[in-house]
Amino acid sequence: MKEILYLLLFVSITAFAQIKKVEPPFWWTGMKNTELQIMLYGDKIAKCDVVMTNGMTALDVFKPANPNYIFVTVNAANQNAGTFDILLKDGKKTMYKYTYELKTRAENAASRKGFDSSDVMYLLMPDRFANGNPKNDSQPDMAEKANRSFDSGRHGGDLQGIINHLYYLQELGITALWSTPLLEDNEPKYSYHTYAQSDYYRIDPRFGSNEDYKLLADELHQRDMKLVMDYVTNHWGSKHWLIRDLPFPEWIHQWPDKDGFRRSNYRMTTQFDSNAAQTDAEACMNGWFDTTMPDINQSNPIVLNYLIQNAIWWIEFAGLDGLRVDTYSYNDKESIAVWTKAIMDEYPNFNIVGEVWMHSQAQMAYWQKDSEIGAIEHYNSYLPSVMDFTLHDAVSILFDEQNKFSWQNEGIMRAYENFSNDFLYPDINNILVFAENHDTNRINQIYKNDFDKYRLAMTLIATVRGIPQVYYGSEIGMDGDKNKGDGDIRRDFPGGWEGDSNNAFTQAGRTAEQNQFFDFTSKLFQWRKSKPVIHFGKTMHFVPENNVYVYFRYDDNDTVMVVINNSDQDQTIEPKRFAERIRDYKKGKDALSSVSVDVTTTVSVKAKSALVLELEK
């Protein structure tokens, strides 16, 4: 009987003191962010006292209303790599010991160089790209199982599938990879997109492991390529373990409506509209993005510090080269600026691009670092890069307007008018330019797989200022209709699954049409890789005539003349009109056809075609 009582007491103490989660699970020495907030989670652990060993002292111990949490802040400044113990004590008894490690940083970790306008970024959805390890398609601890027959189900694409096909991205001319989120998403359905994340320190096991993610970064770096993480600050998933047992109610925005849910009004302009009602601004920032996506309260300092440390942890752990931040302009704008600045202070040469899905250049420019528009109300987001949604809006229309051309912003004038507002951006080279992404209609759907229109769109994206982004599959002519649902614009890449009848990853496996699309795209972006004049040069454009747009990219050493004929008729242009930039150049070599063109006389441009002329004397 005595032995049984001792056993019950031991079991009780063990259960009482069990630590289930420690986040971040480890850290590094030599970080600028020296005050480290460590979150401990376990059943009723707040009843314990916290004691540190090895000379480490707690600057602060915060025990929230939920007794399952303790937040311990320690000073990691001037600490050597090694370990210290976090002891949870009940009086003199040590109920639990967690050995915390401070690791040595990788060489030059702080000075890592982020993506920039010399890069071409490839956006893919990992579940839909390639299945490199069919054994991980379904997992016992994950609610949703693989079902490739359902267009919105899990299809099995994973990290190994991406690694297996990096050669394909190299052949295409890609230098940076942006994958939609890879962190765990344990929603029971529609979890494949992974924007409703359930664990911020764990790669979804259906994609692989944390080490697999680090391997992807290493494999990219060996090929002189970069990895960009899709990061979500605005909302988490409803199945996040922390959401299901909140440390304190203020961790998320809760409304008096049923289940604390109220959908965002999505009116991002209320963030800076001087006429906006405060209630509308709160409905945008604090409303939930969707029913399964609780809105995170970044204005709480504990929450904000959690998000800052988590982003830095992934950058340091995986060796990331950039972040793409989802729904950036839905966050509390003051808090997201603190988050962004903290990361950029830690990594001064890093890059972060924010999704600011607005339809005005002034409104988008507001969110870029050092914006004079933001400065009007003394606001600075510290966000280095934004996405050029107004160019996307124009590109998704203008190439179907071959017979429309007017001062009312039709045809190629849409592009001209977009670039005429470049003066609004404080750093015009550091914006992401794209024809489509995972949330928009596919460009080949819009233009009905018209190869000529695809060529015009990609030529524009590749040769204007900024960082071009390509959406997976468009380079082989993939289409997809958003009106049929998101699953249709996120189809499986052909050849990514064993048994696929069409393997578009290889020249031999592609159809003639797929090779036509691929060969053009590869030639265009391979050419761009070695052209600093396109990466960082200045722009001069001329008012379009007859639906023909002429612009120049130039620097002290080179000049490239781009002619885009959006008309369905052959056109001629008179070089004298462009003497301001042609100057004493005599000819130009077309990067797309290698044909030499005399630029001292009339230049002919075929209908629905482009010239990219490297000018020569």
- DSSP letters, 354-405, are E----S-HHHHHTTSTT-HHHHTTT------EEE-HHHHHHHHHHTT-TT--
By three-state DSSP, how is residue 121 classified? strand
pLDDT at residue 17, as a whole number? 54
The mean pLDDT value for 485-496 works out to 98
pTM (two decimals): 0.95
Per residue in 34-50, pLDDT (tens digit) is: 899 999 999 999 999 99
Q: Which CATH architecture has domain 2-105?
A: Sandwich (2.60)
Q: What is the pLDDT of residue 75?
A: 93
Please give the pLDDT value at position 7: 42
Whether pLDDT at 434 is above 80: yes
Strand extents, DSSP E, 159-312: 176-179, 183-184, 199-203, 226-232
Q: Residues with catalytic annotation?
A: 326, 355
What's the CATH fold of domain 233-387? TIM Barrel (3.20.20)
**What are the residues whose beta carbons fall under 8 Å from the beta carbon of 320, sequence distance 6 or more?**
217, 227, 228, 229, 314
Strand 176-179 vs strand 226-232: parallel, antiparallel, or unpaired? parallel
Is residue 587 within a helix (H) or strand (E), and if so which, with residue range?
Answer: strand 587-590
pLDDT per position as a tens digit, 204-214: 999 999 999 99
Residue 10: band (very low, low, confident or very high) from pLDDT cuts 50, 70, 90: very low
DSSP one-letter code for 237: -
pLDDT of 506 above 90: yes
d(CA 312, CA 320): 10
Do the domains 2-105 and 537-616 sit in the same CATH topology, yes or no? Answer: yes
Q: Give the residue extent of every domain in the chain.
A: 2-105, 233-387, 537-616
Sorted by sequence, the CB contacts under 8 Å of residue 494 that are 6+ apart come out as 476, 500, 501, 502, 503, 504
For the stretch 321-334, pLDDT in tens is 999 999 999 999 99
Q: Residue 610: which pLDDT band, with cuts at 50, 70 and 90?
A: very high
- Residue % of the chain over a pLDDT of 70: 97
Instruction: Please state, rounded to an integer, the average pLDDT across all residues of the chain.
Output: 95
What per-residue string of b and e applies to 89-98 under the rule 16 or more CB within 10 Å gives b? Answer: eeeeeebbee
| Residue 588: strand, helix, or coil | strand
Residue 489 scores a pLDDT above 50: yes
Q: What mean pLDDT do residues 577-593 have?
A: 96
Percent of the chain with pLDDT over 90: 93
| pLDDT bracket for residue 4 (50, 70, 90) | very low
For 345-378, the pLDDT digits (tens) are 999 999 999 999 999 999 999 999 999 999 999 9
Separation between Cα atoms, residue 184 and residue 2, nearest integer Å? 46
The answer regarding whether domain 537-616 maps to CATH 2.60.40.1180 reads yes
